[in-house]
Amino acid sequence: MTHPRNIFLIGPMGAGKSAVGRYLARTLHLSFVDSDDEIESRTGVDIPFIFEKEGEEGFRKRESAVIDDLSKMDGVVLATGGGAVINPDSRSRLGGRGFVVYLYTTVDQQVARTQKGRERPLLESADPRATLQELLDTRDPMYREIADIIVETDGRKVKSVANEIIDQIS
């Protein structure tokens, strides 16, 4: 099976980037890296703490540097944070250094998937649904700009999404 040496997963929070990425990496015998995990590893603190101390701007600077480093690796499946595409340099690096998969999911599915689990600083608002809709409206064109393929994840199992990606890159 021939496949790209690097696969970069982009999309909104709750799209399944980390879960699908882990499965893809195992199946394709590639390494898996998650940009948010790498930021936490490098700083020694969690992302909500970075947002609290440095704001979103400080976090995005860190994220851009991590995306630059991780996208230079060879043989990786990289799960990016939902906002990684905000930075034009990050979009350019992702688009130029690997095969980009936009995992698309609706706001309804995002709401369902983000209600539990990881703390998400951008969702600490009075109306998380409205926030998710606003983020998707803003970021969707950026995701589409660099995507080699778009895969819908609503109501689907990780294996099904990953197998669709594998079928399209083979």
| CATH number belonging to domain 6-169 | 3.40.50.300
Q: CA angle, corner 106, sides to 103 and 107, nearest 5?
A: 125
Tokens representing residue 126 in the block: 């009075």
Q: Say what the pLDDT of residue 15 is.
A: 94
Low-confidence ranges of the chain (pLDDT < 70): 1-3, 116-119, 121-123
pLDDT at 1: 44
Structure token digits, residue 149: 């393929």
**Residue 127: predicted pLDDT:** 84
Residue-wise pLDDT for 81-114, tens only, equals 999 999 999 999 999 999 999 999 999 999 888 8
As beta bridge partners, residue 104 has 152
Write down the pLDDT at residue 2. Answer: 54
Return the pLDDT at 112: 87
pLDDT at res. 122: 66
